[in-house]
Amino acid sequence: MTSTRGLTRRNRVALIAGLCAFLVLAGTGVASAVWTSAASVTGSVTAATTSLSIVGTPSLATTYAFAGTAAQSPTIVRTMVVTNTGSAPLNYSLAVSGVAGNALAPLVKLTLWTTTGTCSTTAGTGATSGTLAAPPALPSGALTAVSGGKFTLCASTSLNSTIAASQGLSVTSTLTLTGIVGVSWITTASDATFTQSVYQIIPVSPTCVRNGNIVTLSWTAPANTTGASAVTYRVVDASNNSIVIKPYQAGLSVSLVASDVSGSSGTVVVQALDSQFGTGSVSLPISVYVQGVLRCA
Amino acid sequence: MTMPENACALERIFSIRSILKTLAALVAALFVGVIATGGTYALWNKSTNIAGGTVKAGAASLVISSPLTMPSTLLYPGLTTYGTFVVTNSGDVPLQLTVQSLTGVASTSFSQSLTVAVAVNPAIGATFADCPGLASYPWSRIATSPTAGSLGSTLNVGASATLCVSTALALNAATTAQGQAVPGFVLTIGGTQP
């Protein structure tokens, strides 16, 4: 039998049962709230900075002038001061720029060491060596520095060649010190560039004066000769130096007549030779010709 | 008895039966509901009178008993610095400690590489010198992504604990982070009744 109004009996029973269950469960439910509290503190953090300086590299400038073999090359010892001017420790490395493709750079030996005193002529313990073209690693005492750390870096250079073989070569370099902490914090510093060169007597600039049938070539002594230099001069054919018109002599002039240049191209040069160091130079060409007598062009 | 009278009486009988069924369903539902709520329902009772008293609600209270002290050391890639502060449970219930928030951190190349970590130092009288030796820091976040998290420690009523705060700059921190600062971060420690 079904109710004539509203819900069926079965639905009414189910509704009442559900309502009762809800009321019982809700009435006996456990409180879910918990007690909490919180408190705060404040703080600050700041990042460091990186910077460094290297002072003294320009003092490495020099001109090599020595007699004999490479073993006789003087050793140039100079002092550089490296300072970590930032607020973070740094790992150092050294590089030399301006040496790519340079003929002299591989011939200049570079030695580095640290000292707590003054740089002596003898490399200290732990010294490292290379060349300007392939510079050495920094010595152990110069690999790291704390913030504000300063140390003296000694550098010596010498020519691993003779003056005769390397005369006139020159290299202008920059020593660059790099400091790094972490992966990306990199800072670099360098002092001014310095130039090292190998002595070569500079060419003379002869003048040509005719007097009758005599042509006189005269010049002044090269300005860059050292005090001990013994410079001699000779005149040769400009296009064939084996044709010697006047042999080496110490005077600052030579006199020529037409017979002196027979078999020559008519263009001559004056060669200067500093026999002590084995360096020579060649003047600009001078043209002479024979028209009855020898004349200046 | 006429047929209509019989029908009416029958209908009354059915109506009474319906009411009984409904009552039975109600009782069954109550039974199920009570059983479903669990617990025991022993009916032992004993009562006695006591003098009048005061019922007062307890409270959860976590206070900073020593503020955070961070070293003045400047951070660089690879460096971790440590600071400490002390919290005290001055309430009436034990509290599970959490890091609720880290605020006051602007997004910079410095803060993006900055890791802030917090740990409870169980040693009594611990100082910041003890912080590097902790086995782990349960809460460790990049400063710009400081989601809340548990410190895995419960502070009993009346107890104090030293909390270590570490700040570390990543090795690959950008060079633009140099000289930057997080001048006033706010670290909020929460205590929750277990």
Cβ A37–B95 below 8 Å, yes or no? yes
All residues at 6 or more sequence positions from B40 whose CB lies less than 8 Å from its CB, including other chains: none
Residue A29 has pLDDT above 50, yes or no: no
Is-contact A216 A235, C-beta < 8 A? Answer: no
- Low-confidence winner among A17-26, A85-94, A227-236 (lowest mean pLDDT): A17-26
Chain A touched by B142 (CB under 8 Å): no
Which positions in chain B touch A182 (Cβ < 8 Å)?
76-78, 169-173
Is-contact A35 B91, C-beta < 8 A? Answer: yes
Residue A12 has pLDDT above 90, yes or no: no
CA distance A86 to chain B (A): 10
- Low-confidence winner among A36-50, A227-241, B131-145 (lowest mean pLDDT): A227-241
Find the helix or strand (DSSP H, E) in which A142 lies.
none
pLDDT of residue A2: 41
Residue A11 has pLDDT above 70, yes or no: no
> In this predicted model, which residue has the larger pLDDT, B39 or A212?
A212
Token code pair at residue A26: 């809700």
Q: How many H helices and E strands in chain B?
A: 1, 8
Cβ A38–B187 below 8 Å, yes or no? no
Backbone angles phi, psi at A176, to 5 degrees: -115, 125
The pTM score is 0.75
pLDDT digits (tens, 9 = 90+) for A226-280: 766 789 999 999 999 999 999 999 999 999 999 998 877 889 999 999 988 889 9
Residue B147 has pLDDT above 90, yes or no: yes
Q: Which residue has the tokens 């009288």?
A: B125
Cβ A44–B185 below 8 Å, yes or no? yes
> In this predicted model, which residue has the larger pLDDT, B50 or A86?
A86
Cβ B191–A38 below 8 Å, yes or no? yes
Is-contact A4 B10, C-beta < 8 A? Answer: no
Cα(A203)–Cα(A225) distance, integer angstroms: 11
Question: Mutation test of the interface with chain B: which of A32, A41, A50, choosing the one with the most B Cβ atoms within 10 A?
Answer: A41
pLDDT digits (tens, 9 = 90+) for A101-114: 999 999 999 999 99
Q: Nearest by CB to A185, from B34, B62, B178: name it.
A: B178
Chain B touched by A4 (CB under 8 Å): no
Cβ A185–B75 below 8 Å, yes or no? no
- Low-confidence winner among A136-145, A146-155, B57-66, B73-82 (lowest mean pLDDT): B57-66
pLDDT of residue B15: 67
Stretch B134-145: mean pLDDT, rounded?
Answer: 96
Banded model confidence at residue A1, pLDDT cuts 50, 70, 90: very low
Cα(B33)–Cα(B43) distance, integer angstroms: 18
pLDDT of residue B58: 78
Cα(B20)–Cα(A270) distance, integer angstroms: 144
Token code pair at residue A289: 């010709």
- Backbone torsion region of residue A72, taken as left when φ is above 0, otherwise alpha when ψ lies between -120 and 50, otherwise beta: alpha
Q: In chain B, what percentage of residues exceed pLDDT 90? A: 64
Is-contact B39 A29, C-beta < 8 A? Answer: no
pLDDT digits (tens, 9 = 90+) for A127-154: 999 999 999 999 999 999 999 999 999 9
pLDDT digits (tens, 9 = 90+) for A188-206: 999 999 999 999 999 999 9
Q: ipTM strictly over 0.90? A: no
Cβ A17–B29 below 8 Å, yes or no? yes
